[in-house]
């Protein structure tokens, strides 16, 4: 028993309490944000989550300077949740430079969080600052935060694993070369041990020498790439492993580096991989090859896409939910092009608000099952009449919003009339043999490039919709 174990002995029995025997060290997460509420909220969000029977613990820094001190003392931190704007507008991004360049820490996974997404565009920030993920604070729910942290911890662990494996291999190779002159048999035994160790690894591992030959690959690699020929170079016709093998293709100034790619598996299905690579060099600095390890993240990516679908889709109708359709409207507003004189020349768009007429009567007379069926059939009919670029979302109840990009006022009216006619001709049959018909009232407005906001566009479309209902329903009105 170690001294640390003795510290936790029961005073009377000398045994370790059961609750401590099963406690694993938590995953430390460095939270860098000048807002105390962000630290408190992050701690609350992660309070009930575990990964591999280990909880998460928060290490708090309220400025980039404080974070630098912590990082100097804690090189073992796997992930940092980092705010962009703190003591300065770019304090978070400068801290990223410090981590990657000054500290040379390529392992820690950096998730950038900001309440002001416009301060650092997602694509530019990730490419320019070697950031692993980028999230706005508004979208980072508990589930998304947990998914991001699990992904980050796995990536950190894979980088540490390949680094450890590389150090072990370099040590073994040097040791074997020295011992080969004295004891050939022992060196051969060590070589076989390394190869067997790599062979048994569940993840694909391969070593490519400086001449471009695949000198070593394990069983998992050969199963993923069945056309492999041990010790031979791949031909251009072979289904080969991910590219970027040579040291000169690695990011400047790095040792290990990683990227994601998609390959066809032996069954023909696409596999998404996280590949971690480490260039190897001889004592004189000459490149000797690259060792690589791949982790199959296909299921993780599928789950992320499904979570994204659930977060943006109305479960009853299958249309976009209210939050997502309004996000699409906001994106459309920011993408409209305007000439200096103020005359719109490109990116014209319209918004249609649709309300099912007498929907309460359908529920009251036919039952709520009929109401649900009506909502689903309305979405089906609308989608059947929409263009590929059009979007429909359920705003609430029986009300829908339809976005028409690249549509003038006249185009929007024509589309709305087509949708109105399609609904009026719809006969909805229920499973018990009953059937009913319905109509819809439509309010249309143009999305203006200058001065419009989401609220103003919705307001005009709602006014047009109210007028359509006041003038007898089953009609299209324009504001």
Per-domain boundaries in the chain: 3-140, 155-301, 313-478
Cβ partners under 8 Å of residue 193, min gap 6: none
CA 381 – CA 320 distance, rounded (Å): 15
Residue 167 is predicted with a pLDDT of: 83
In Å, what is the CA distance from 367 to each residue of 349, 370, 374?
37, 5, 11
CA 383 – CA 388 distance, rounded (Å): 9
Residue 251 is predicted with a pLDDT of: 52
Q: Tokens in use for 426?
A: 């719809």
Residue 22 is predicted with a pLDDT of: 44
**Which residues are designated catalytic?**
398
Contact 263, 273 (CB under 8 A): yes
Tell me the whole-structure pTM to 2 decimals. Answer: 0.47
Determine how β-strand 54-61 pairs with β-strand 50-51.
antiparallel
Q: In the chain, what is the greatest distance between 2 CA atoms, to the nearest angstrom?
A: 100
CA 332 – CA 86 distance, rounded (Å): 30
pLDDT one digit per residue (tens) for the chain, 479 residues = 333 343 333 343 444 444 444 467 899 999 999 989 989 988 888 888 899 889 999 999 999 999 999 999 998 899 999 988 888 888 888 899 899 888 988 889 998 887 765 555 556 656 666 788 877 776 667 888 888 889 989 989 888 888 888 888 888 877 767 666 666 677 677 778 877 888 888 889 988 888 888 888 898 898 888 775 444 443 333 445 555 443 445 554 457 888 988 888 888 888 899 999 989 888 888 888 888 999 999 898 899 888 988 999 999 999 999 999 999 999 999 887 443 444 444 568 999 999 999 999 999 999 999 999 999 999 999 999 999 999 999 999 999 999 999 999 999 999 999 999 999 999 999 999 999 999 999 999 999 878 899 999 999 999 999 999 999 999 999 99
In Å, what is the CA distance from 55 to each residue of 40, 142, 388, 455?
16, 14, 45, 42
CA 340 – CA 200 distance, rounded (Å): 66
The residue whose two tokens read 């249609």 is: 352
Specify the CATH class of 155-301 in words.
alpha beta
Q: Is 73 helix (H, G, I), strand (E, B) or coil?
A: helix
CA 206 – CA 208 distance, rounded (Å): 7
Contact 438, 375 (CB under 8 A): no
Contact 105, 71 (CB under 8 A): yes
Determine how β-strand 399-405 pairs with β-strand 391-396.
antiparallel
CA 67 – CA 136 distance, rounded (Å): 20
- Angular region, 98: left φ>0, alpha ψ -120 to 50, beta rest: alpha
Q: Tokens in use for 388?
A: 């590929």
Q: What angle do CA 174, 180, 186 make, to 5 degrees?
A: 100
Q: Tokens in use for 23?
A: 């406690």
Residue 241 is predicted with a pLDDT of: 59
CA 147 – CA 310 distance, rounded (Å): 14
Residue 324 is predicted with a pLDDT of: 95
* Assigned CATH topology for domain 3-140: Rossmann fold (3.40.50)
Q: What angle do CA 472, 439, 386 make, to 5 degrees?
A: 120
Residue 8 is predicted with a pLDDT of: 34
Q: Is 405 helix (H, G, I), strand (E, B) or coil?
A: strand
HSE, side-chain direction, 13 A CA sphere, residue 471: 14
Residue 19 is predicted with a pLDDT of: 40
CA 278 – CA 296 distance, rounded (Å): 18
Which residue spans within 34-118 are E strands per DSSP? 50-51, 54-61, 79-83, 109-114
Cβ partners under 8 Å of residue 314, min gap 6: 320, 321, 322, 393, 394
* Phi, psi for 457 (deg, rounded to 5): -65, -45
Closest alpha carbon to 354 in 296, 396, 414: 396
Q: Is 79 exposed, middle or buried (0-12, 13-18, 19+ CB in 10 A)?
A: buried
* Assigned CATH topology for domain 313-478: Alpha-Beta Plaits (3.30.70)
């Amino acid at each position: 028993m170690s001294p640390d174990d003795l510290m936790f002995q029961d005073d009377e029995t000398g045994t370790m309490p059961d609750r401590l025997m099963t406690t694993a060290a938590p995953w430390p997460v460095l939270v860098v944000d000048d807002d105390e509420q962000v630290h408190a909220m992050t701690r609350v969000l992660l309070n009930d989550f575990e990964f591999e029977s280990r909880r998460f613990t928060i290490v708090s820094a309220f400025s980039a300077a404080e974070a630098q001190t912590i990082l100097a003392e804690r090189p073992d931190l796997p992930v940092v949740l980092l705010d962009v704007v703190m003591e300065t507008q770019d304090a978070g991004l400068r801290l990223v430079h410090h981590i990657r360049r000054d500290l040379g820490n390529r392992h820690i996974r950096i998730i950038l969080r900001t309440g002001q997404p416009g301060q650092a565009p997602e694509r530019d920030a990730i490419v320019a600052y070697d950031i692993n993920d980028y999230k706005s604070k508004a979208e980072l729910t508990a589930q998304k935060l947990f998914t991001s942290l699990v992904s980050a911890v796995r990536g950190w662990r894979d980088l540490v694993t390949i680094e450890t494996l590389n150090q072990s291999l370099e040590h073994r190779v040097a040791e074997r070369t020295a011992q080969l002159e004295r004891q050939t048999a022992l060196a051969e035994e060590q070589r076989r041990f390394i190869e067997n160790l790599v062979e048994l690894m569940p993840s694909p591992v391969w070593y490519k020498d400086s001449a471009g030959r695949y000198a070593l690959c394990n069983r998992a690699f050969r199963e993923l790439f069945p056309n492999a020929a041990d010790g031979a170079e791949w031909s251009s016709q072979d289904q080969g492993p991910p590219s970027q093998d040579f040291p000169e293709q690695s990011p400047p100034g790095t040792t290990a580096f990683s990227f994601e790619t998609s390959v066809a598996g032996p069954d023909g299905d696409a596999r998404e991989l996280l590949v971690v690579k480490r260039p190897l060099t001889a004592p004189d600095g000459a490149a000797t090859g690259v060792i690589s390890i791949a982790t199959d993240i296909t299921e993780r990516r599928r789950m992320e896409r499904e979570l994204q679908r659930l977060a943006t889709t109305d479960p009853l109708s299958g249309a976009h939910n209210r939050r997502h359709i309004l996000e699409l409207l906001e994106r459309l507003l920011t993408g409209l092009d305007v000439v200096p004189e103020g005359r719109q020349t490109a990116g014209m768009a319209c918004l249609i608000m649709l309300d099912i007429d007498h929907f309460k009567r359908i529920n009251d007379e036919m039952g709520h099952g009929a109401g649900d069926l009506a909502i689903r059939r309305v979405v089906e009919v609308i989608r059947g009449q929409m263009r590929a670029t059009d979007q429909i979302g359920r705003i609430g109840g029986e009300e829908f919003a339809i976005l028409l990009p690249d549509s003038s006022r006249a185009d929007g009216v024509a589309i709305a009339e087509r949708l109105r006619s399609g609904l009026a001709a719809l006969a909805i049959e229920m499973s018990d043999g009953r059937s009913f018909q319905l109509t819809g009232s439509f309010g249309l407005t143009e999305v203006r490039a200058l001065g419009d906001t989401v609220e103003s566009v919705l307001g005009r479309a709602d006014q047009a919709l109210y007028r359509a209902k006041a003038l007898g329903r089953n009609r299209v009105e324009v504001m």
